[in-house]
Amino acid sequence: MKTKNIFITFLFLSLLITSCKTSEKKERVIGKITEKAMVVSAREEASKIGAQILKKGGNAFDAMVATELALAVAYPYAGNIGGGGFMVYRKNSGEIGALDYREKAPLASSKNMFLDAQENVIPNKSTLGAMAVGIPGTVAGVFEVHRKFGTLSMEEILEPVIKLAKKGVVVTAKQEKRIKYYQSSFLEANKDSIVFNKSWKENDTIKYPELAKTLTRIQKNGRDEFYKGETAKRLVTFIQANGGIITLEDLAKYEAKWRTPVTFTYDDLKIISMSPPSSGGICLAQIMNAIEPFDLDKFGHNSVKTIQVIVEAERRAYADRSHFLGDPDFVTIPQKELISKAYSAKRMANFSFDKATLSSDVSHGTIKIIESDETTHYSIVDQFGNAISATTTINGGYGSKLYCSDLGFFLNNEMDDFSSKPGVPNMFGLVGAKANEIAPEKRMLSSMTPTILEKNGKLHMVVGTPGGSTIITSVLQTILNVHEFKMSMQEAVNAPRFHHQWLPDEIKMEPNSFNENIKSELIKLGYTLDETNSPVIGKVAAILVLKNGHLEGGADKRGDDSASGF
Ligand code: GLY
């Protein structure tokens, strides 16, 4: 009897300890929760301005305009009016759509413009200074969104943004480091000293009076101020004085374009993502179609088998991406076939858990492509149930590093997203394909993947990230972390990420984040791991609609990201 009691007590205590340990392990990390509306972006100031517009009764489209332009002030590293982007929306009625406000190649551009007489790529020409600049699309983009869906006046929307530019923005620790890192390039790209040459320290405030004046003129005169007005003239004079080829005609001809988003299913999810000229939606569809038949939830998060399946799907999708994708107005893309489940099944037919596939054994194996990793993303859900997912960029950190002090903004170096010469590496040691070669008025291929998910016909998640070619795989893992591994939105954003893009044939992993045993097993299976020089693997900004209809924000600790709402 006594023995039995001791045994029962022991059993009870063991169960208690086990359950304590389990609950310890399962302690959830939850992001900011709001009841009705939320904006998540790379800077607190921009998220707050977006949320403020919603609070005033504006919708997600009004908030998009405000957030995009507030990022141009608060986050000059990637936020912009000198660049471009993509936006995917889902209205509360279920209507979906996408806007392409990607930069274009100037009329005077040509296939070999970045090559010398011997047809060698001229170092830095597509990345630094005025020749690297594509025709900016951001101002056209926000005005087009507002024309179609806006409810508040542009004057009202721009007011807090202009106020922020005048008042200035506090430098964060991360920003201090970034400015320092790029200062030698600022000196190289600019004839005159620019505001970012100063040695800014954390907690200093940088004011942007010239940008405030530019935005005030845009507020007063509308879209054409940037493309045909005084701003256009001053911008063209500046670019040409610095050796660039953009003309007034280029600016006047620029139009943002409505596109049909890429849609596909994964289990019970409907995924709505960006169509070409971004590779994001097609590539995401290919990867998700390829992994759908596998039981990732049983394999476990970041287990060897899960990593293998995802890596092998990524390898195959990125090989196709390099070969087939470009501006759909210039090249024919076999989109229907690429995103069919049957095609992905065919591509995965030679995958085995026993050993890594070699990238050299995957077709189209002679070319590779990538974009620079600096971009920014914001996600919005409004109090009416409309959702926006937008990613915007000037390509490299601070774009071409060419700063128009007169107008108060950096210009993009998006021309580097074209392949300067098929088969020859760009400054990142990477090469591109014929589908993405330069032509006048063509849009350069992108990886930006603004994405919205539906579950059971209802809004489920809004997600996106910067990160160049790692954008697609970061969006993928964030979705899988919630859907397969039942993480909260914030946990899904926080979780360590990895990336494979066919070439180079290696898995990039966030340093010091993966289990040693898992890494050794992967190496044994023939995978090469790169933890040393990994680029930033995204800074995800996401919103999850919870079962009770409230919203959970996922703001990435890898950046200064922040969620705001009510
Ligand atoms: N410039 C980065 C991208 O478009 O993907």
Express each pLDDT in 293-340 by its tens digit.
Answer: 999 999 999 999 999 999 999 999 988 887 889 999 999 999 999 999
Instruction: Assess whether the C-beta atom of 273 lies below 6 angstroms from ligand 1.
Output: no
Give me the pLDDT at residue 157, please: 98
pLDDT, one tens digit per residue, over 190-246 is 999 999 999 999 999 999 999 999 999 999 999 999 999 999 999 999 999 999 999
Give me the pLDDT at residue 5, please: 46
The count of other CB atoms within 10 Å of the CB of residue 346 is 12
Residue 12 confidence (pLDDT) above 70: no
Give me the pLDDT at residue 359, please: 80
Give me the pLDDT at residue 502, please: 87
Residue 512 confidence (pLDDT) above 50: yes
Active site residue 127: no
Instruction: Assess whether the C-beta atom of 395 lies below 6 angstroms from ligand 1.
Output: yes
Question: Which of 147, 70, 65, 140 is CA-nearest to residue 102?
Answer: 140
Q: How many residues comprise the chain? A: 566
Q: State how far the Cα of 169 lies from the Cα of 393, in Å rounded to an integer.
A: 19
Average pLDDT, the chain: 91
For ligand 1, the distance from its centroid to the CA atom of residue 393, given in whole angstroms, is 7
For ligand 1, the distance from its centroid to the CA atom of residue 4, given in whole angstroms, is 68
Give me the pLDDT at residue 424, please: 58
Take atom 1 of ligand 1 and give the residue whose Cα is closest. 395
**Which of 372, 444, 470 is the best mutation target for the ligand 1 pocket, counting ligand atoms within 8 Å of the beta carbon and taking the most?**
372
Instruction: Assess whether the C-beta atom of 561 lies below 6 angstroms from ligand 1.
Output: no
Give me the pLDDT at residue 497, please: 96
> Which pTM does this prediction carry?
0.93
Instruction: Assess whether the C-beta atom of 190 lies below 6 angstroms from ligand 1.
Output: no
Give me the pLDDT at residue 63, please: 98
Task: Give CA separation, 389 vs 20, 60, 131, 463, in Å.
Answer: 39, 10, 30, 6
**Which of 377, 418, 447, 539 is the best mutation target for the ligand 1 pocket, counting ligand atoms within 8 Å of the beta carbon and taking the most?**
447
Strands 33-34 and 38-41, bridge-based pairing: unpaired
Residue 15 confidence (pLDDT) above 90: no
For ligand 1, the distance from its centroid to the CA atom of residue 518, given in whole angstroms, is 31
Q: Hey, is 273 helix, strand or coil?
A: strand
Q: State how far the Cα of 212 lies from the Cα of 408, in Å rounded to an integer.
A: 8
For ligand 1, the distance from its centroid to the CA atom of residue 504, given in whole angstroms, is 18
Is 468 annotated in a binding site? The answer is yes
Q: What is the DSSP letter of 264?
A: E
Residues 6+ apart with CB under 8 A from 179: 171, 196, 200
**Which of 86, 102, 393, 472 is the best mutation target for the ligand 1 pocket, counting ligand atoms within 8 Å of the beta carbon and taking the most?**
393
Strands 562-565 and 38-41, bridge-based pairing: antiparallel
Is 417 annotated in a binding site? The answer is yes
Structure tokens at 289: 């179609």
Residue 343 confidence (pLDDT) above 90: yes
Q: What is the DSSP letter of 395?
A: S
Mean pLDDT of 167-178: 97
End-to-end CA, the chain: 60
Own/partner pairs for 507-510, CB < 8 Å, 24+ apart? 507/307, 507/311, 508/470, 508/534, 508/535, 508/537, 509/534, 510/534, 510/537
Catalytic residue among 127, 375, 470, 478: 375
Residue 365 confidence (pLDDT) above 50: no
